[in-house]
């Protein structure tokens, strides 16, 4: 079945794993035709106790848009069934914005003339101390994708530092080999997030002009290598708006589905990023509006009712306040997307603009006002 070949060869250092997940996902994505669904398909999908891949496709289709309210009602129920009223809070920390990739939509693009910086471990510790004062116990460590500027040892040291302050540590860094994930797991990391950005590999090659990220399949298999390396959970995301968002959301949804089937112990979570303005690209050419984003989030909830959903500060407070009542289970607060800036002055530029500048207390309050229970600590390291 394998028809896909990478536009660029694997680098010598990149690990190959035996997996049929990518072929399955790309094959189903190719056959997925959002315009083929009818209202009846949507109604049937909503009524099901357990949705199959085709039902998920129906919920993402244009035929589902008139049923958004009905889908929201079901989603709210499902979220309550699996998560009750608890919603996790966390914050990201960007420790470096050096990057070797040339992704046309990204502020960290190697070709962009921005202030580059990397926090020293001492600075990381200061920033984390500051964050920990807010009461948060979950942190997401992010770096630009540079194996030279932020190598595995550096990331490992960031994780070890984080482990002193936080009980749950996520990573959103470059894809790596399973032994490297294993090392970072030993350092204290729990979760790995990798966005495939777009699952349309043609579009992918047009948008990712250089750097290791150009190797589509190495990125695709990152979550699986992370699980092989012993990570507790993995998160998935398509940057909606880069390609046909329905097809990308479909592929992202089933990517997680197939991995969970293969690794049933893995904790699964979806992120919901959509394209926003960033440095050197102020123009908004995005066709994914709040309504489309919500449709995607609700479809993920019905398809994988047990999966986490993270809502980013790319979205405005009003949207975030509402989506956490329906299907999002994890919300960030007190976010800085530049390098540093919490304990000391910002050292390096941001990856994108955020739309929700609220601090931890403000987000916490907003959750409580909606009858939700903010959860700061959802994991105990043993």
Partner 1 sequence: MNDKLVIGKHEFNSRFILGSGKFSLEMTNAVIKNGGVEIATLAIRRANKGGEENILDYIPKGITLLPNTSGARNAEEAFRIARLARELGCGDMIKIEIIKDSRYLLPDNCETIKACKLLSDEGFIAMPYMMPDLSAARSMAEAGASAIMPLGAPIGSNKGLLTKEFIKIMVEEIDLPIIVDAGIGCPSQACEAMELGCAAVMANTAIATAKDVPAMATAFKMAIEAGRIAYLAGLGRILDNKAEASSPLTGFLED
Nearer to partner 1, 136 or 294 (CB): 294
Q: Which residue has the tokens 């008139």?
A: 66
d(CA 46, CA 303): 10
Q: Tell me the window of 47-55, 93-101, 105-113, 361-369 that interacts with partner 1 (CB under 8 A).
A: 47-55
User: Distance of CA 83 to CAs 22, 209, 257, 268, Å?
Assistant: 30, 40, 19, 14
x-or-dash pattern for partner 1, window 256-275, by CB under 8 A? -----x--x-----------
Nearer to partner 1, 196 or 260 (CB): 260
Q: How many Cα atoms sit within 13 Å of 42 on the Cβ side? A: 23
x-or-dash pattern for partner 1, window 274-303, by CB under 8 A? ----------------xx--x---------
Least separation in angstroms between CB 222 and partner 1? 23
* Total site size for partner 1, rule CB under 8 A: 22
Q: Which of 322, 346, 355, 376 binds partner 1 (CB under 8 A)?
A: 322
Nearer to partner 1, 14 or 53 (CB): 53
Rounded to 5°, the CA angle 81-170-282 comes to 95
d(CA 53, CA 25): 11
What DSSP line would sit under 162-199, residue for residue? HHHH-SEEEEES----HHHHHHHHHHT--EEEEEEE-S
Q: Tell me the window of 99-107, 147-155, 217-225, 315-323 that interacts with partner 1 (CB under 8 A).
A: 315-323
Q: Which of 4, 195, 319, 376 binds partner 1 (CB under 8 A)?
A: 319
Any contact of residue 69 with partner 1 (CB under 8 A)? yes
Nearer to partner 1, 53 or 132 (CB): 53
d(CA 122, CA 98): 18
Least separation in angstroms between CB 137 and partner 1? 30
Q: Which of 1, 3, 50, 382 binds partner 1 (CB under 8 A)?
A: 50
- State both tokens at 160: 């070890």
- State both tokens at 294: 């919500």
Nearer to partner 1, 128 or 256 (CB): 256
If DSSP codes are grouped into helix, strand and coil, which group holds residue 331? strand
Q: Could you say which DSSP state residue 13 is in?
A: T
Q: Which of 7, 17, 39, 47 binds partner 1 (CB under 8 A)?
A: 47
Q: Which of 16, 115, 318, 381 binds partner 1 (CB under 8 A)?
A: 318
Nearer to partner 1, 115 or 370 (CB): 370
- State both tokens at 269: 């979570």
Q: Which of 14, 43, 53, 279 binds partner 1 (CB under 8 A)?
A: 43
290-303 vs 68-83: helix crossing angle, rounded to 10: 50
Residues in the chain: 382
What DSSP line would sit under 15-51, residue for residue? PP---SHHHHHHHHHHH--GGG--HHHHHHHHH-SS-
Any contact of residue 85 with partner 1 (CB under 8 A)? no
If DSSP codes are grouped into helix, strand and coil, which group holds residue 89? strand
Q: Tell me the window of 6-14, 66-74, 137-145, 280-288 that interacts with partner 1 (CB under 8 A).
A: 66-74
Any contact of residue 72 with partner 1 (CB under 8 A)? yes
Any contact of residue 324 with partner 1 (CB under 8 A)? no
Contact 347, 117 (CB under 8 A): yes
Any contact of residue 76 with partner 1 (CB under 8 A)? yes
Q: Give the footprint of partner 1 on this chain (CB under 8 A).
A: 43-44, 46-48, 50, 68-70, 72-73, 76, 261, 264, 290-291, 294, 318-319, 322, 325-326
């Amino acid at each position: 079945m394998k028809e896909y070949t990478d536009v660029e060869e694997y680098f010598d250092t990149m690990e190959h794993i035996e997996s049929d997940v990518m072929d399955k996902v790309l094959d189903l994505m190719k056959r997925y035709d959002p315009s083929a669904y009818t209202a009846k398909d949507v109604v049937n999908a909503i009524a099901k106790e357990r949705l199959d891949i085709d039902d998920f496709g129906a919920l993402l289709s244009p035929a589902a848009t008139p049923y958004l309210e009905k889908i929201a009602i079901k989603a709210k129920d499902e979220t309550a069934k699996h998560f009750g009223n608890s919603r996790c809070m966390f914050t990201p920390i960007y420790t470096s914005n050096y990057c070797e990739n040339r992704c046309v939509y990204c502020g960290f693009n190697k070709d962009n003339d921005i202030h580059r910086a990397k926090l020293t471990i001492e600075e990381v510790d200061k920033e984390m101390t500051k964050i920990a004062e807010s009461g948060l116990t979950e942190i997401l460590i992010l770096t630009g994708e540079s194996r030279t500027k932020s190598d595995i040892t550096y990331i490992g040291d960031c994780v070890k530092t984080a482990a002193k302050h936080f009980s749950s540590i996520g990573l959103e860094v470059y894809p790596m080999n399973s032994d490297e994930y294993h090392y970072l797991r030993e350092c204290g990391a729990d979760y790995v997030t990798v966005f495939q950005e777009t699952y349309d590999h043609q579009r992918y090659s047009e948008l990712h002009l250089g750097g290791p990220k150009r190797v589509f399949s190495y990125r695709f298999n990152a979550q699986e290598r992370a699980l092989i390396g012993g990570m507790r959970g993995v998160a998935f995301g398509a940057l909606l708006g880069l390609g046909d968002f329905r097809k990308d959301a479909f592929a992202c949804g089933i990517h997680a589905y197939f991995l969970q089937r293969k690794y049933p112990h893995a904790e699964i979570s979806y992120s919901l990023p959509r394209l926003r303005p960033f440095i050197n690209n102020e123009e908004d050419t995005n066709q994914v509006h709040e309504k489309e984003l919500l449709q995607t989030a609700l479809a993920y909830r019905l398809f994988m009712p047990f999966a986490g959903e993270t809502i980013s500060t790319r979205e405005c407070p009003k949207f975030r306040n509402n989506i956490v009542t329906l299907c999002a289970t994890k919300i960030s607060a007190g976010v800085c997307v530049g390098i540093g800036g919490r304990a000391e002055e910002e050292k390096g530029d941001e990856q994108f603009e955020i739309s929700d500048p609220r601090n931890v207390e403000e987000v916490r309050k907003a959750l409580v006002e909606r009858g939700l229970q903010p959860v700061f600590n959802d994991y105990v390291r043993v």
